[in-house]
Amino acid sequence: MLIAANWKMYKGPGETRAFLAEFAPPEVVDVVICPPFGSLGAAVASGRTIFAQNVHWASEGAFTGEVSTRILLELGVQGAIVGHSERRQYFGETDETVARRVAAALEHGLRVIACVGESLEERESGQMELVLRVQVEAIADAAGAHAGLVLAYEPVWAIGTGRTASPEQAQEAHAFIKSLLDVPVLYGGSVKPDNAAELLSQPDVDGALVGGASLDVESFTAICQAAVSAVP
């Protein structure tokens, strides 16, 4: 059971140190913290498992604003989120670039949480499975069922909106994704302490990628505690 905190563009080094000094998750849950780039060093110093929020496919080069696997590994970072819906929506990520990032990160020894998911318009028009198939197959073609790869299903309509997929909707999507690529699948979409246990109890939900609720120590700890009962 993997619970990942995506802090997005919140928490500088000082806030990061304060959070991680107080944070005490249950040992039976695999917990990953994904702070913004400027806070990675402070986070790594805590001894926790730290992932970046993005990684480039090139080892080095003229790619202003990007970060390479080599730099992340030297910092002590163990993995990266790739292809988050906000990266796709605001920064032009495509299925092709996501796949390239995933393949390069895994090749160089980083773990990867690769994100897939449909918009509200796509879901309501009956295209959920088509969208997921295209996104997942791009990753599968690039990397296969790699031991370091985890997918995260994030229904775009449930990110930052307060809306959450029902446990049945999450289970349906996760089962479909696993039929395309046999790797663990996290749920990401307004996960909170009051809905985490029910979502995590679904048979094909292998953890959660938590956004806003991961910024508060008590809230995120409660979600990690909810995961304990779902650990096999």
Domain that holds residue 18: 2-228
Cα gap 189→153, rounded to integer Å: 8
Say whether pLDDT at 231 is over 90: no
- Residue 128 sits in a domain whose CATH number is 3.20.20.70
Q: For residue 124, is pLDDT > 90? A: no
**Amino acid in the structure at residue 59:** S
Residue 74 designated active-site: no
Which of 86, 118, 122, 154 is catalytic? The answer is: 154
The predicted-structure confidence for 15-60, as pLDDT tens digits, reads as follows 999 999 999 999 999 999 999 999 999 999 999 999 999 999 999 9
pLDDT value for 189: 85
pLDDT at residue number 160: 66
pTM above 0.75, yes or no: yes
Mean pLDDT of 144-170: 87
Residue 229 has pLDDT above 90, yes or no: no
154 is an active site residue: yes
- Whether residue 184 is predicted with pLDDT greater than 80 in this model: the reply is yes
Counting the structural domains of the chain, the total is 1
* Catalytic position from the list 56, 84, 146, 174: 84
